Amino acid sequence: MSESTKSSPWVWISLGLIIGLFVAFIIFLDQNIVKNSRQESKALEGTGINTKPVFDFYTVLPERKIDIQEIPDDKPDVPNVSNRKKASSGRYIIQAGSFQRMQDADRRKAELAFLGLESAIKKATVKGADYFRVEMGPLNETQYSKIQKSLIANDMDFFAKSIP
């Protein structure tokens, strides 16, 4: 073998010495940690401090009672009609768009026709400006559900309202 591939015995001796010192240092630290923890536990035992958690909320909670005064409300209760079955008769109108130009409304109506949906354009005047609304309906619940799924699948915005 050539001399460049041979390693000097001093390399191995110094490597063994470094590893041995590292192991000795780790053992030294471990013994110091154990020694310090024993001293702390003896100090806690001498002071009489209980290291176990104490749960006293079973006794404290019933003792803490707060009297809440009810303030009479002069306003009458307003029933929530959205939860009533009578409020929704099962008939809906879907508005698939509202446009200021008739050409835009015709374009939306054509898009709906390609989806197989029949719609109508209705003119509305809001604050002096004319709007052209693309509407479908009146629809029953099954028709409404089918059209809603189709519009959502094709990323079209719409507005639905229940009619009496």
Q: What is the pLDDT of residue 87?
A: 44
- Note down pLDDT in tens along the chain; length 164 residues: 455 567 788 889 999 999 999 999 999 988 888 777 776 766 666 565 666 666 676 776 666 777 777 777 666 666 655 554 444 457 888 998 889 999 999 999 999 999 888 889 999 888 888 899 999 878 888 888 888 888 888 888 888 888 87
Tokens 């192991």 correspond to what residue? 23
Whole-number Å distance between alpha carbons of 105 and 114: 14
* Average per-residue pLDDT for the chain: 80
Rounded CA-CA distance 84/78 in Å is 13
90: alpha, beta or left, given left = phi > 0 and alpha = psi -120 to 50? left
DSSP state of 75: S
Please name which of 125, 141, 144, 122 lies closest in space to residue 133, comparing C-alpha atoms. Answer: 122
Please name which of 122, 128, 127 lies closest in space to residue 102, comparing C-alpha atoms: 122
pLDDT at 44: 61
Q: Can you name the residues that pair with 123 across neighbouring β-strands?
A: 132
127 in the Ramachandran plot: left (φ > 0), alpha (ψ -120 to 50) or beta? Answer: left
Give residue-wise pLDDT tens across range 123-139: 988 888 889 999 987 88
pLDDT of residue 86: 46
CA 154 to chain centre: 25
Tokens of residue 136, six digits: 């479908």
Q: Which residue has the tokens 């030294």?
A: 28
**43: which DSSP letter?**
H
Amino acid at 123: K
